[in-house]
Amino acid sequence: MNIHFFDDPNYIPQPKDKVRIEALDIIPYPDRFRVHVHIKVTPFLERPNLILVAHNAQDRVVSELNIIETMHTDMEFTLHIRGVQEPAGAYTLTAMLFYESKNPPQDQRIEAFLIPEASESNEH
């Protein structure tokens, strides 16, 4: 008799050396001061840590989130853009996955995103 613990037959938990960031999607909210972040990681046997850091075009940190020993492989977060009067512009989001040490991270993904001008975001 087979016992299945997961609905998805492709969901095979991996040892920590095989865990990677599989997807990173960023969508600005209409208010332009928040961004929706969707991140997926490889199914794991040991729970990884993640750090998400958003930088503006001047390379200044405008948002940061630490996820310690996540229990989930498919996650969604809201990051708040801080320390700016007007959020419009180009940004990068760096996602780092690690276990014992973040220097260097086990895996890293960097994605660029744009927050539109106020008039552009109101048209949608």
In a domain, 107, yes or no: yes
Residue 60: its pLDDT value, please? Answer: 97
* 47 in Cβ contact with 72 (< 8 Å): no
Q: How far apart are CA 19 and CA 12, in angstroms?
A: 11
- CATH number reported for the structural domain that contains residue 116 in this entry: 2.60.40.10
- Per residue in 40-83, pLDDT (tens digit) is 999 999 999 999 999 999 999 999 999 999 999 999 999 999 99
In a domain, 7, yes or no: no
Tokens standing for residue 3: 């016992």
Mean pLDDT within 27-48? 98
In a domain, 117, yes or no: yes
Residue 2 confidence (pLDDT) above 60 = no
Q: How far apart are CA 15 and CA 48, in angstroms?
A: 11
Number of structural domains found in the chain: 1
| Residue range of the domain that includes 37 | 16-122
In a domain, 75, yes or no: yes
Mean pLDDT within 24-48? 98
In a domain, 82, yes or no: yes
Q: How far apart are CA 21 and CA 41, in angstroms?
A: 4
Integer CA distances (angstroms), 81 to 12, 33, 48, 49, 57, in order: 36, 5, 25, 22, 13
